[in-house]
Amino acid sequence: MIALGQFATADCHRPTRRAFLTAGASLPWLVPAFNAGWDPSTASAADRLGRAKSVIFVWLWGAPSHLDTFDPKPDAPTAYRGPFSPIATRVPGSTFTELVPLLAARSHLFSVVRSHVTHDGGHPQAGTLGLTGFKEGPGPVHPSFGSIVGRHRGPGVLPPYVMLGRGVPRDVVRPVVGYGGGDWGKAHDPFLVNCDELGEVSIPSLQMLEGLTPERLTDRQALSAQLDQFQRRVTEPQFDQWDRSLRQAYTLLTSRSAVAALDLSHESESRRQAYGQTAFGQSLLLARRLVEASVPFVHVNWSEYVEALTPNTDFGWDTHIHNFDLLPTRHCPIFDRAFSALLDDLHERGMLDSTLVVCMGEFGRTPKINNRAARDHWPQCYFSLWAGGGVKPGRVIGASDAKGENPVTRPIEPPSIGATICDFMGLNSVVRARLNVLPNATAIEELT
């Protein structure tokens, strides 16, 4: 079920004007894209629709080890290779580790890139670089890949850019800066949704009065008449923006299809179990429902923090100490099961061709095992997984050296991630020039 919370209000019989305005203010996607200089309705059909209709971007926050998952080095020295054995995949000559057997059996559905590099070894900084293609400062923050796609496709009943997780990805100290609209403004930030291990969905920014259901809200259309007082306090352009925002907020709150897309109780128990009873697994299932409801970009976070702050919180992939304990007992079983279920689900529903799936972290982990019998940060080499949306599956693109320390093929940098997503979504170089984004980035041509 979906939990909508409650508004703070002084009127127990109906939503106050202030409460409803708060709803509008908290829905940043509702400000039309053309307010920032780009009107999707003026784009050609070829510009608006690429091979993919939606993106599911899976962010393995904290940075997984490439040697222990999708780029094993069984012939490397003991200090590098780790304890996990390689296993065959369905791609001739390609091996993964024994920790991802379900994905090894589905390697014909996706392609692996093994030659990524980035230019910062800190989580927030590498996160911004990985999500925008640009380093943090000096100067304005660039829009994220999700914001670019969301702005290009424009708003609908559901927001064009949704982020699933407990919150914006963050280190212990601060969050990633480049997760949203950047210098385009808050209108292009993602809409945050939390999905727990039971599939319970909560949306803090869509809060309603206690006991006020969407059905009861349909009797409250007279609320719009109260806006005249608000109009006198703002300029005409500001009111026009608020008016559009409030109309769309009302539409979302009263749309059965929008509410249904966020309600995992519509899924069979067997389907929900296939994804696993974890927040990550249920979030991937929710992502499938959202793209099924035509949301252009859904970003799924593995966790909010790179590592556990307390024993009861989600533990990201920042495994400086517990790498060889957590990967076989927690991280890889959860990931292998949930990501395999997502690929199966999309494939069985005929959605894989129209849904681009991208999975990666912000960097890799040290090939050489540290003195705590684990792995540290390693921006010099890492991996990504690509499926659907026009991607040629069953390929291994790029290669790292014998120890997994550096690419021996062309290094693929973060801007290429964004350019590739844009290409598959129909945002070719002409459209990107119009939007003034990723001006010199080149796509990963081997994926097509």
- Asked if pLDDT for residue 272 goes beyond 80, the answer is yes
pTM of the model: 0.86
Distance from the first to the final alpha carbon of the chain: 39
pLDDT at 258: 82
pLDDT on residue 36:
39
* Number of Cβ atoms within 10 Å of the Cβ of 132: 29
- Residue 49 predicted with pLDDT over 80: no
Q: Are residues 128 and 98 in the same domain?
A: yes
Range of the domain at 23: 1-30+207-261
Q: Indicate if 387 and 256 belong to the same structural domain.
A: no
Torsion (CA) 276, 281, 284, 288 in degrees, nearest 10: 20
The pLDDT assigned to 314 comes to 73
352 within some domain: yes
Determine the Cα–Cα distance for residues 91 and 94; give it in Å rounded to an integer. Answer: 6
CA dist., res. 56 & res. 70, Å (int): 20
**Do both 240 and 286 map to the same domain?**
no
Of 246, 261, 276, the position where a domain reaches its end is 261
Within 83-143, where are the H helices?
101-104, 123-132
d(CA 163, CA 102): 26
Q: What is the pLDDT of residues 5-42, one digit of tens each?
A: 443 333 333 444 444 444 444 455 444 433 334 444 44
| Short-list 339, 246, 361, 351, CA closest to 290 | 351
- In a domain? residue 35: no
Domain final residue pick, 261, 287, 304: 261
Looking at the structure, do residues 124 and 225 belong to the same domain, yes or no? no
Which tokens belong to 181? 């609209």
Give the H/E segment covering residue 141. none
Residue 176 domain-assigned (yes or no): yes
Helix (H, G, I), strand (E, B) or coil at 19: helix
| Peptide bond between residue 138 and the one before it cis (omega within 30 degrees of 0) | yes
Give the separation between CA 107 and CA 105, rounded to whole angstroms: 6
- Euclidean distance between CA atoms 384 and 58, whole angstroms: 10
Number of domains in the chain: 2
Query: What 3-state DSSP class applies to 222?
Result: helix
Question: Tell me, what CATH number does 335's domain have?
Answer: 3.40.720.10
Longest dimension (CA), the chain: 74
- CB contact set of 431 (below 8 Å; sequence gap of 6+): 43, 47, 152, 422
Tens-place pLDDT, residues 393-436: 999 999 999 999 999 999 999 999 999 999 999 998 888 998 99
Backbone angles phi, psi at 179, to 5 degrees: -90, -15
Instruction: List, in sequence order, every beta strand (DSSP E) within 44-92.
Output: 54-59, 86-88
Instruction: Compute the distance between CA of residue 390 and CA of residue 227 in angstroms, rounded to an integer.
Output: 46
Do 71 and 141 fall within a single domain? yes
What is the per-residue pLDDT across 104-121, written as a single tens digit (0 to 9) for each? 999 999 999 999 999 999
Q: Are residues 92 and 168 in the same domain?
A: yes
In angstroms, the CA 178 to CA 190 distance is: 11
pLDDT tens figures, 298-351: 999 999 999 976 655 678 999 999 999 999 999 999 999 999 999 999 999 999
215, 232, 261 — which closes off a domain?
A: 261
Cα torsion through 101, 103, 105, 107, rounded to 10: -140
Residue 123 has pLDDT above 50, yes or no: yes
Which two structure tokens, joined as six digits, stand for 80?
């590098």
In this prediction, residue 136 has a pLDDT band, given cuts at 50, 70 and 90, of very high
305 and 175, same structural domain?
A: yes
Q: What is the pLDDT of residues 191-235, one digit of tens each?
A: 999 999 999 998 766 555 455 555 555 555 544 444 455 455 555
**260-263 LR contacts (CB < 8 Å, sep 24+):** 261/158, 261/289, 261/290, 261/292, 261/293, 261/295, 262/2, 262/193, 262/201, 262/203, 262/286, 262/289, 262/290, 263/1, 263/2, 263/201
In a domain, 166, yes or no: yes
